[in-house]
Amino acid sequence: MQTPLSHWMKLGIVYFMAYPFAMSGEGDIESTTRRILEDPDFDCIEITRVNDPALRERLKGLIRQSGITMTYGAQPQLLRNQENVNSLDEGLRRRAIDRLKACVDEAYEMEAQGFAFLAGKYSPDSKERSYAALVESARELCGYAAAKGNMPINLEVFDDDVEKCSLIGTADYTARFAERISREFPNFGLMVDLSHVTQLHTGIDANIDPIAPYIRHAHIANAVLTPGAPAYGDQHPRFGFPNSVVDEDMLAAFLRKLFDIGYMGEGKRPIVSFEVKPWDGEDSECVIANTKRFLQSAWLRV
């Protein structure tokens, strides 16, 4: 593809993965966020909880000044607190929903233009009961968000047997769920991630085609699928990491698929964010630069 990336997409970055300390809501968030906001290659930044209300207000102003799109990822908050929105224990399910509602409040406070969460783990013998619990949680969350504004709510598709072992992983099950919720809540959609596609074992077509009508957000990421190897599982290592599976041809195929299903197209410019994490002392800025170079090279193959 010779046309610039920016013609077809808003290139984004999952900030809290590139700077993992930020998942705690503490640390040097302001200066590292500025690095993204000042980088003209980025049109979108994905943030998570910021504990300090005064810092949230400053960041909101900086984001507004930069002209960048900001979305909010609640996934770290559920994972860090080991909360499950499809728990069969009603008390635990309610705790997870309350967490997500607080995140929705913060996302609106910061003028986010999208919100993401994830389903919890499941056991095969309780899959249908977990599905019913997730339906109730998603309906409550989408209704809560819709009552406050028009912010899109996206459920991220994960693996179902590697690390997250998420209820929402396998494509046919994911499509069933997305059809059920989006029928009632037009603000609901799905987020897909290339690294999670690789962990679902059946390839890009099999994992994207069945859910194509519901995809509202896309991530570019890498994975290591060799058990016992460094960064095995859902760790989002940089591209070119030892034993990793996403090469330039695979990324190009994923981007072509996003065109094929109509996610990307003339005049659309949807968000396509990369999600990479420094591993074992690696430098965030170098990992980010690596990813931009990798994406540009893959783009020439699209």
- Phi, psi dihedral angles at 144 (to 5 degrees): -65, -45
Length of the chain: 302
Residue 2's pLDDT band, with cuts at 50, 70 and 90, is confident
pLDDT tens for 35-78 read 999 999 999 999 999 999 999 999 999 999 999 999 999 999 99
Nearest to 196 by CA among 173, 221, 213, 171: 221
Tokens of 62: 């900086």
Sign of the torsion formed by the C-alpha atoms of 140, 141, 147 and 150: negative
Give the predicted TM-score (pTM) of the model.
Answer: 0.95
Half-sphere exposure of residue 113: CA atoms within 13 angstroms, side-chain side: 16
Is residue 170 predicted with pLDDT exceeding 90? Answer: no
pLDDT tens for 262-273 read 999 999 999 999
Domain 7-299 falls in which CATH fold?
TIM Barrel (3.20.20)
Tokens of 170: 């396998």
pLDDT tens for 97-153 read 999 999 999 999 999 999 999 999 888 889 999 999 999 999 999 999 999 999 999
Tokens of 297: 């090279």
